[in-house]
Chains A and B, each alone.
Chain A
Amino acid sequence: MERAENLARLLQASNELLLDGETMGSRSLNDYWDPVLVATAMEDQFGQLYPQGTVADVGYFMTLDERNPDAITMCLRQARENARTVRDQISDEMWTELNDLYLFIAEAGTLRLFQMSPQSVYDRIISGSLLFHGITDATLARTEGWQFIQLGKHLERADKTSRFLDIRVHAAPTGKALDSFQWTSILRSASAINTYRAEVGGEPGAEGVIDLLMFSTDFPRSVRYCVRQMDAHLHAISGTVLGSYGNSAERLAGRLLARLNFGSSEEVLEQGLQEYTDDLQSVLNELGQRIHETYVLLPQDQQSVIFLPSVDSQQRRWVELQQQQQQQ
């Protein structure tokens, strides 16, 4: 059986791993941080916790600070918790790697390591995340569970790649004005620097970067590639023929894919990079919502949603208490 809700949690699990690995991993500039805070909408909270915030504070806040629900350590904790609830559906090796990574970040010694060399902490997280996906690839049967994991992974990647473009744009609102140094940083964030050199070449500039990250047919982190994968996985899950649609998620994915298939960097720059990525993110958001509605929510919940995260905390606590019944 595919417990849809848990699959969705699992999907989130792999998402979050990826998200953090990539967002945090490749920072090369100090001023990277401000846009990161803005883009993740955490600036207010950060300001409250660290009135005289320094660069080091931002790093800690985004990585190990348990008061920040989006910090890497909290995402990993959530991911592990989710994986724990679906352990019957993932391989033992997947669990072990995810658990190992969580134990690494939760360990007291990691704080010291982080203070001395944040990069080595990020390296471990990135390689852990990649290893997790490799293990998934090598050990998980190609059942629906696997399809959902792929779906989640590509949704997250598409979103993140578009955000990397966005983050820089926040720093310098007119797309054209970014210097090549900043474009290089974007490429690094998306692990695309080598591909760029090989496929495009020369000083990184707006057209080339947008063409690669947004529209490339074969770079595994381009938005177009990810959406194409999502479209395929959605159809594999439902059994609907490609090119047609059986539910609103498939329709939305198909429409987005068509737009990306026939889009170009000129078009993006004409519209304005920021506007284009904002628009793209809202479509991706909606797509996530539709998938959730189609596969996760139970029929009766579609009128009155009871188990969404917004459920009031008292009710949650009540469920939790009941779950904690003493076993003999």
Chain B
Amino acid sequence: MLLDHYDTEDLFDEMFAGNGEVRPHYQLMRERLDTLSKAELDQKIRNLETLFLKQGITFTVYGDQQGTERVFPFDPIPRIIPAEEWQVVEDGLVQRITALNLFLYDVYHEQKILKDKVIPEEVVLSAAHYRPEFKDVDVPRDIYIHICGTDLIRDRDGSYLVLEDNGRCPSGVSYVLENRMAMKRVFPHLFGSAGVRSVDSYAADLLGTLQYIAPHGKMDPVCVLLTPGHYNSAYFEHSFLARQMGIEIVEGKDLIVVGAHVYMRTTRGLQQVDVIYRRLDDDFLDPKVFRADSMLGVPGLVSAVRAGNVALANAIGTGVADDKVTYAYVDKMIKYYLDQDPILQQVPTYLAWDEKDRGYILDHLSELVVKAANESGGYGMLIGPRASRAEIETFRGLILANPRNYIAQPVVYFSRHPTLTEGSVEGRHVDLRPFVLSGERTHILPGGLTRVALKKGSIVVNSSQGGGSKDTWVLHPS
């Protein structure tokens, strides 16, 4: 049997409590996996890959002349989360997104939290994604982050920790939906009576969220998805979501602003647009206000937003909340705005910006993970224990040159999950990105994207750095 010689190596494993000891919620899965031979499994993997390839579920690798497309590597052994465990995650995420939205409202209005010195003013005002242009501008329903993709990991004791909040343009949800579709096709027998919660309602919930923020509470608003264009690595997802919601996918040049209203060009003239789900960074939205060299934006868009005639999801300036320095203060936000203790813990964080912390960071570079405050996709990162002396010195220079831009965290050897490898099944590190929608209610997609670092021992799960994904099953309460 495939799992007979599985070794947890004393790390927290999702499936096994110890060698040979399957956690109860994985029991059924284990029995069903045991009915498959390695050869059968391999055959099914090939079927899966063909399926993904045929549907064009691929991402583009940048820096490659050909613009090579790859299938996002997929591991067929699903990750399973029991109902009680998921409830904690869900409560924690709701608490967190509520606090983050209150924080953003505050930062762009009275700035009470800064005046009360709960968060140092410099931290917020120096954030690269803070947009002073939007101070005192109201956004519909006072919601800033409508779509959030929070990255979670599990510590050695199995508790969920927040690694980062992606509150600008989080991606990956299309893989959640496509992974499930593919699993149902290729491994139907794994599902029977397992009690897996469906992920089908995401597109409808997302559309509902977009409609909820239509300016002036307009009924039946026109929503569009604004993409940077088809060279973007996530273009598949953009077009996938637009199709699922039945809304138009547009590029900047398809939109025009006339008299502080946004219109979309159609062959029958202009049609007014009420809500824009934008997958474009703030910087590129409007060449008149942000980067003047943006070829992707809509001149005048910001004036329409300020006039309250069009809503953006997410709002402009949310990057100040997912800045990795701000992250260190989210626990304090939860206490300040909600007077609650955080349900989800986060990873201890040292701020190079703070003199004392900086000293500690520079003395312990070879033990820490150093991250740039605003990078994503696994770029701009140093993993101390794996880094060469030269890499460490490079980061030392970077940190000293721009301390505000760096943070450091202890290395967390987060949980592992049985994963199919060349010869057998071995443990690989996994994280989890649930997707949180804040509209009239907060919707959390059951599960989310489980990313897996396919290289042995690796803790980097990003698709651009050799990561893959798994289907994630949240079970119904039994």
Contacts and interface: CB of A to CB of B under 8 A. Distances in A.
A328 B228 contact: no
Interface string B52-63: 011110001010
B239 A87 contact: yes
A322 B54 contact: no
Contact of A96 (B55, B224, B232, B279): B55
B265 A4 contact: yes
Interface centre among A5, A100, A326 (most CB of B within 10 A): A326
A326 B60 CA distance: 11
Contacts of B88: none
A324 B234 CA distance: 9
Given A3-B250, A99-B56, A323-B228, A328 B294 contact: no
B284 A322 contact: yes
Interface stretch (B164-172, B187-195, B203-211, B395-403): B164-172
Interface in A7-56: 7
Given A1-B264, A88-B248, A144-B267, A323 B377 contact: no
A324 B284 contact: no
Contacts of B235: 84-85
Interface in B137-177: 149, 166, 168-171
Interface string A195-235: 00000000000000000000000000000000000000000
Interface of B: 53-56, 60, 62, 149, 166, 168-171, 224, 228-236, 239-240, 242-243, 248-250, 253-254, 264-268, 271, 279-281, 284, 294-296, 322, 375-377, 379
Range, interface on chain A:
20 to 34
B279 to A, nearest CB: 7
Nearest to B225: A88
A315 B293 CA distance: 11
Nearest to A299: B265
Contacts of A323: 228-232, 296
Interface string A73-103: 0000000010011011000100110011001
A100 B295 CA distance: 33
Given A88-B248, A99-B56, A322 B296 contact: yes
A88 B254 CA distance: 15
A296 to B, nearest CB: 9
A95 B236 CA distance: 12
Nearest to A300: B256
Contacts of A95: 55-56
Nearest to B59: A327
Contact of A84 (B230, B234, B281, B377): B230
B253 A327 contact: no
A291 to B, nearest CB: 11
Contacts of A1: 224, 248, 250, 254, 264, 266, 271
Given A1-B271, A4-B265, A88-B248, A326 B377 contact: yes
Contacts of B55: 92, 95-96, 99
A26 B54 CA distance: 28
Given A2-B266, A4-B267, A323-B228, A88 B243 contact: yes
By DSSP majority rule, is chain A's interface helix, strand, loop, or mixed? Answer: helix
A325 B228 contact: yes
Nearest to B66: A66
Contact of A319 (B264, B265, B268, B295): B295
A270 interface: no
B171 A328 contact: yes
Interface in A222-274: 237
A318 B295 contact: yes
A256 B449 CA distance: 57
Contacts of B266: 1-4
Contact of B242 (A88, A144, A237, A322): A88
Contacts of B268: 2
Interface string A92-134: 1001100110010000000000000000000000000000000
B86 to A, nearest CB: 23
Contacts of A328: 149, 166, 168-171, 322, 376-377
A25 B156 CA distance: 63
Nearest to B249: A88
B288 to A, nearest CB: 16
A99 B280 CA distance: 27
Given A323-B296, A324-B232, A325-B228, A99 B54 contact: yes
B233 A84 contact: no
Contact of B232 (A88, A99, A144, A325): A325
